[in-house]
A and B are shown apart, each in its own frame.
Chain A
Amino acid sequence: MKTKSIWGYPPRSYTDLLDRLSHAFGSRWIACVVGASDGKFVLPLTRRGIHVTCYDVDKTALFGGIKTVPTTRFTEPQQDYEPSPVARAWPSVPSQQVQIQGLVGRLELEGLSQWAEIRCTDYFRDSREDQFHLVFTSCSLQYKWNRDLDPMDMISRLMRSVCTGGFLAMDYMMPLEERHTWKPPQYLRQGVIETMFDRKDWQVLFLHEPEYPVFEAAHVDRPNDHFHRIGQITVQRIQ
């Protein structure tokens, strides 16, 4: 039975990345997902028979429970015109409490439990220093729990988890516009992350830092429509 993450589907670039690793390592590689949540990025790996170490501090996302999600909107005719969902003050949209399966539940339903190791702890404060062929994280640097950490230290920690020949792939939030300086330093300005990999033992394979933010509808734990500017980088450790 194929299950679906309440966070939606991974982007196309993630599938391309996994294809690339499968091409490079066959089926003999292991991965680590930092900020695994309910498995948006984990299940595509385990379905390929890849062993994944999953880090997250959110117990509900890992083991299931109640989450607040926006209700399905705009599917029925309106009685009268309501304000646009992205209205002037960007108000909250109607939401509801739902029971989610969580990562563990999804793995069990799909019969993939043996491919995942769940670590319900903070990766950046975890003393274990395992190494993987792929380390992936999506916006965990900007997670509210990490506001007191230096982004460069966090990136260094991620780099240490990659074995020689392995890949590190990150999505990260950027200031909505470059002139926005009020964001905490975890919001990486254009060109900042590239400097971390300007060294002989790392090779930047893909770097995408969009100039423009994109609209994102309300989602789990974020009850109002909003905008993001998300960069992507994929690097390979060559030494």
Chain B
Amino acid sequence: MELLAPAGSWEAMVACVEAGADAVYGGLPWWNARQRADNFSIDSLGSAVDWCHGHGRRFYLTLNILLRDPEIRDLLEVVTDGAFPAVDALIVADVGLMDQLRCSKPETSIHASTQFGAQNCTDLHWLRARGVDRVILPREASLEEIERLAQTKILPVEVFVWGSRCFCYSGDCRLNGYLTGGSGDRGCCIGVCRHTYVRADVSGQWLYPEDIDVQKYVRQLIQTGIVSLKIEGRRRRIDQLADVVRRYRRLIDSPETFELSRVSNRSHGWLMGGHSAEHHVRAGRANLETIGDEPLTTDSLSGGGGVSGYALQTQRCPDSDRFIDLLLRPYDCGGWQLRATTHQGEVVCAVLNPGSDPVDPPAVLSISPVNGWPIREARVEGDGSIGWCMREAVDALTKILPPEREATWLPSRNRRQATPLLSVEVSTREQACAAQECGATVLIVPFNKGEQVSDWEEHFPAAEIIFKMPMFDWKSVGWEFWAEAMEGRRVLGTRWSQLDVLHGRASLIGGESSLGIWNQAAAEVARVRGVGFITAPLDWSLAEAMRFASETQLLTDVTIAGHPTLGWSRTQWKSERSGADGRHYIDLLNTDLRVPLRIACDSTDICEVLAGKPMPVAGLPTDCGKFIRFRYAASHDAPDTVATVVSQLRHSVVDLERWAHDIRNQAGPRVRILQSSR
């Protein structure tokens, strides 16, 4: 039994090894999910690996984020270099990266990250067939599920025993992206689920699931047949980590020495099931001092002058070749979101003038010249229907640029009525009826066991129906039920292992955003599995999706309206009140970030939506490339709303000239202001 401990720094690595860890895991400053840890440089990584090997320990390198194309190229160049340290395994979440590493670095073991979200035998078979050597199960797995998967011996299984939990399934959180602009899948998680929110004038960490500590169940875990117990916490205090490692070492070596007096008041997580119990999420957090943790609070996000954002990590920036890219785009709840991206990919996010539309140049100035670095590129992004706002934003950015730069504005010239290619995702027949009556021709509908495919087809004969596969099935030993039901039909796959079963049987296969297709390598994996279209991740702007679609030549669905999910959770939330639509709501308000939230709870599962401020209905182009289709996520909307939004979308105004220009230049931004550094 291996005890795996975090090495967020050299000191933490030494402390954990001395406390009894068999192996440690750490990351480089880039390409890993803890980019705010004190990560290793490539030079110090070599020393760390040598030090571990010298002490008879193993070192695993975390590459556990979804990568963009430039990053995957850089990464492969680095890790395939002959001088790259001989780490014992690479922890990988990105499917495209898995393939490329297996191809170009076949001698190195690959561990599938918890971010991959493996749940069942089918997932494990799929990973094993791709050359993965170990799977790290999500924290949501119960003891029973862990045992079932470990006993199959398909792949060695690793589980978390200590550390924090996400309020969503690992790898399926979108809340962080909405609030900060940085995706948790990309290493930008700042723990927004730990922030204090206000509900009915009561502050609390409403979204915060308790941390886990399963010392009590170590004996049972060992008996399941897993190979590794993992401790989370690359940003934890070193003395705390050492203490935890020491205790788990003692428990592994002699489980009878379990010290009841030392058991913390942490949760056993989802280990013993109870996924619907509300106590996993609670207001406030007791015994903070006892646990000795330092959770992030929204205090650290606050800036001055009406600007909210979080501080840039500047200590890792080299002395030369520094620059920032600026992106200004309308914020859902009024105001503007400013994103400043450094040359290292670090992101500063700010909300300017929340609640009002005008752009305030001084507010931009207050954050844009980050440490006085040159601005390489400034972009304004928005929807075609708010041209005057765009002009104002361009003017605001122009004021902070050097005077010799000429702002380029692409005015509207040729507006015409459009009939966009639109798909509507619904969850009920009433929503589907409303969408179809208003002209929607592509319907994405759920399909679960016990339902009849023909029911949908008979009710909506004129529509092109795409059945969406379930996201979660912990007990599945194969997707045969769905594959048989989907024979000859159009299907939207939500898990990689589903695609192999559907290939050749479904008439059309789509890849949902949950697959995490962020780069061309992953797109190729999907393409050879018969995938004909994919869904752009919700973290992408329309421009990013267009560029990706153009490069991969895969039809790409872009969600431009509706209530996007903030993530998928295994916890059912306590119902607070009934809404007019018959569903239950808990109303939350993040006062610091000024983003009102509403958490809507269905009777069977949680679904979180942005309250009252759905994604804006944009002016849709008809010619933004032949590989783009638009999606309206209507699952949480009342039928009347569905009808209204579909009508708006179908009659939206387009600007062909501007889009044609972007396509020709393969330009990400819709308005390009500055192209070079000063």
- B-contact bits for A63-107, CB 8 A (1 contact / 0 none): 000000000011101111100111110100000000000000000
Residue A225 lies at the interface, judged by CB distance under 8 Å to chain B: yes
Residue B151 lies at the interface, judged by CB distance under 8 Å to chain A: yes
Stretch with Cβ within 8 A of A (4 or more), from B242-250, B344-352, B457-465, B521-529: B521-529
Q: Which residues of A sit under 8 angstroms from B132, Cβ to Cβ?
A: 84
Which positions 1-51 of chain A face chain B at CB distance < 8 Å? 4, 8-9, 11-12, 16
Among B156, B520, B532, which residue has its beta carbon within 8 angstroms of that of A210?
B520
- A-contact bits for B17-59, CB 8 A (1 contact / 0 none): 0000000000000000000000000000000000000000000
Residue B219 lies at the interface, judged by CB distance under 8 Å to chain A: no
Q: Which residues of B sit under 8 angstroms from A210, Cβ to Cβ?
A: 520, 524
Distance in angstroms between the alpha carbons of A15 and B525 in the assembled complex: 18
Chain B interface residue bracket vs A: 35 or more
> Given A80-B153, A86-B102, A206-B553, are A74 and B125 also a contact pair (CB < 8 Å)?
yes
> Given A9-B504, A210-B520, are A85 and B100 also a contact pair (CB < 8 Å)?
no
Residue B129 lies at the interface, judged by CB distance under 8 Å to chain A: yes
Most B CB atoms within 10 A — which of A208, A210, A216, A227?
A210
Are A12 and B106 in touch, CB under 8 angstroms? no
Residue A151 lies at the interface, judged by CB distance under 8 Å to chain B: no
Residue A217 lies at the interface, judged by CB distance under 8 Å to chain B: yes
Are A74 and B530 in touch, CB under 8 angstroms? no
Distance in angstroms between the alpha carbons of A12 and B132 in the assembled complex: 27
Most B CB atoms within 10 A — which of A75, A86, A212?
A212
Among A8, A88, A217, which residue has its beta carbon within 8 angstroms of that of B106?
A88
Most B CB atoms within 10 A — which of A9, A215, A227?
A215
Residue A165 lies at the interface, judged by CB distance under 8 Å to chain B: no
Q: Which residue of B lies closest to A78 (CB)?
A: B153
Are A12 and B530 in touch, CB under 8 angstroms? yes
> Given A74-B125, A74-B154, are A212 and B524 also a contact pair (CB < 8 Å)?
yes
Are B525 and A12 in touch, CB under 8 angstroms? no
Shortest CB distance B183–A (Å): 22
Are B532 and A12 in touch, CB under 8 angstroms? yes
Q: Which residue of A lies closest to B97 (CB)?
A: A212
Shortest CB distance A91–B (Å): 11
Among B153, B156, B521, which residue has its beta carbon within 8 angstroms of that of A77?
B153
Residue B509 lies at the interface, judged by CB distance under 8 Å to chain A: yes
A contacts with B: majority SS: loop
> Given A212-B96, A215-B525, are A74 and B508 also a contact pair (CB < 8 Å)?
no
Which positions 478-535 of chain B face chain A at CB distance < 8 Å? 503-504, 508-509, 520-521, 524-525, 527-528, 530-532
Shortest CB distance A105–B (Å): 19
Q: Which residue of A lies closest to B522 (CB)?
A: A212
Are A86 and B524 in touch, CB under 8 angstroms? no
Residue B99 lies at the interface, judged by CB distance under 8 Å to chain A: yes
Distance in angstroms between the alpha carbons of A225 and B128 in the assembled complex: 12
Distance in angstroms between the alpha carbons of A11 and B553 in the assembled complex: 14
Residue A213 lies at the interface, judged by CB distance under 8 Å to chain B: yes
Among A12, A77, A208, A217, which residue has its beta carbon within 8 angstroms of that of B508?
A12
Which positions 597-649 of chain B face chain A at CB distance < 8 Å? none
Are A81 and B153 in touch, CB under 8 angstroms? yes
Residue B103 lies at the interface, judged by CB distance under 8 Å to chain A: yes
Are B130 and A86 in touch, CB under 8 angstroms? yes
Residue B239 lies at the interface, judged by CB distance under 8 Å to chain A: no
Are B102 and A215 in touch, CB under 8 angstroms? yes
Are A213 and B504 in touch, CB under 8 angstroms? no
Residue A214 lies at the interface, judged by CB distance under 8 Å to chain B: yes
Among B106, B153, B156, which residue has its beta carbon within 8 angstroms of that of A86?
B106
Closest 9 CB pairs of A and B: A9-B504, A86-B131, A212-B521, A78-B153, A12-B532, A227-B103, A214-B524, A84-B131, A215-B99
Interface residues, chain A, with chain B CB atoms under 8 Å away: 4, 8-9, 11-12, 16, 73-75, 77-81, 84-88, 90, 176-177, 206, 208, 210-217, 225, 227
- Known pairs A4-B504, A12-B532, A227-B102 / 11 extra A-B pairs, C-beta < 8 Å: A9-B530, A12-B527, A73-B129, A74-B128, A77-B151, A81-B155, A85-B129, A86-B130, A90-B106, A212-B520, A214-B527
